[in-house]
Structure 1
Amino acid sequence: MLECHIPNFKSLKVDKLVFDYNGTLACDGKPISGVKEKLNQLAEKFDIYVLTADTFGTVENKLKNVEAEIIIIDSNDGSKSKQKFIQQLDSQTVIAVGNGNNDALMLDEAALGILVLGSEGASTKSLLSSNLLIKNINDVLDTILAPKRLVASLRE
């Protein structure tokens, strides 16, 4: 669990992490180097969920040694499916991480929405729905592991 007070922003009490897969944790369907190890480290303190339409049909195999629940969503209505999933978890206990247009609603819904700007880019719509932009997924995971970074970036 992550508990921290961010002055003039909000107090977080988060025990769930929700990630988009392609473009966030993976590039071209392959997990980005270092991601699996850091997810397993975070799984000691958080429930971890990976939401994906599984564009490449490989997510189960690629993340087989990762302590995360994989949720396959409807590719025709991914935005609302992701938002609804966050709501079912209790939005205020979730950090959501994504990069695409279909991540905008979940980033807005979560207690903290983080947009990752990876090699596939990030959508402007999701940028405007997020609380924080971080340049790559490994830096996102490191920030969650060292939450004082959140205070430094988000306090007013």
Structure 2
Amino acid sequence: MLSLKIPGCKNLRVNKIVFDLNGTLACDGSLIKGVKKGINDLAKNFEIYILTADTFGTAAELLKDLKAELVIIDTDNGSRFKADFVENLGRKSVIAVGNGNNDAQMLKNAELGIAVLGPEGAAREAFLGAAMLCHKINDVFEILAHPRRLKATLRK
């Protein structure tokens, strides 16, 4: 659970994190270095969900050592699925992290949306839907491990 008062912005009380897989946690079919440790460290304080269409059927194997729930997107409208998933978890208790066009509404719906630039780049719509932008996924892990950084970035 993360509880943090951000002056002029909001009071965060979140206990769930939803991650996009491809482009956010993985690149070219492999986890980005540091992701396994980052996710497993966060899992000590948060419920973790990883969303993917799993086009190649490899996500379960890729994520087998992560303390996270794999959620397969079983529709052609990934954007709507992700946005609805955050809503169904209880949007006020969710941090969402992604980089693609299909992540934009999920990032906007979450209490805290974080767009990640990452090795694949990021869609402009993801930036616009997020409250915060990070250069790479490992920056997200560091920020959530040191929540005062959120306060410094988001306060008004």
After TM superposition, the score normalised by the length of structure 2 is: 0.98
> Residues 29 and 56 of structure 1 are in contact (CA less than 8 Å); yes or no, is this contact kept in structure 2?
no
CA-CA distance at 1:36 after TM superposition: 0.5
Offset at 1:56? 3.1
CA RMSD, Structure 1 to Structure 2 (Å): 0.8
Amino acid in structure 2 at the alignment position of 1:15: N
Question: Aligned residues: percent identity?
Answer: 54
3-state SS of paired residue (2:24)? coil
Distance, in Å, in 2 between the alignment partners of 1:48 and 1:131 is 20
> SS at 2:38's partner residue?
helix
State the match for 1:150 in structure 2: 150
Runs of 4+ in 1 over 6 A off after TM superposition: none
Show the counterpart of 1:42.
42
Residue in 1 aligned with 2:69?
69
Match of 1:23 in 2: 23
For structure 1, list consecutive stretches of 5 or more residues without a partner in the other structure. Answer: none
CA separation in 1, counterparts of 2:128 and 2:74? 24
- Tell me what 1:116 maps to: 116
More displaced stretch, 14-23 vs 57-66: 57-66
Deviation of 1:75 after TM superposition, in Å, equals 5.2
Other-structure match for 1:59: 59
**1:50 counterpart letter in structure 2:** I
Q: Structure 2: give runs of 5+ residues left out of the alignment.
A: none
Residues 92-142 of structure 1, C-alpha deviations (whole Å, 9 max, x = no match): 000000000000110000000000000100000111110000000000111
Q: Structure 1-normalised TM-score? A: 0.98
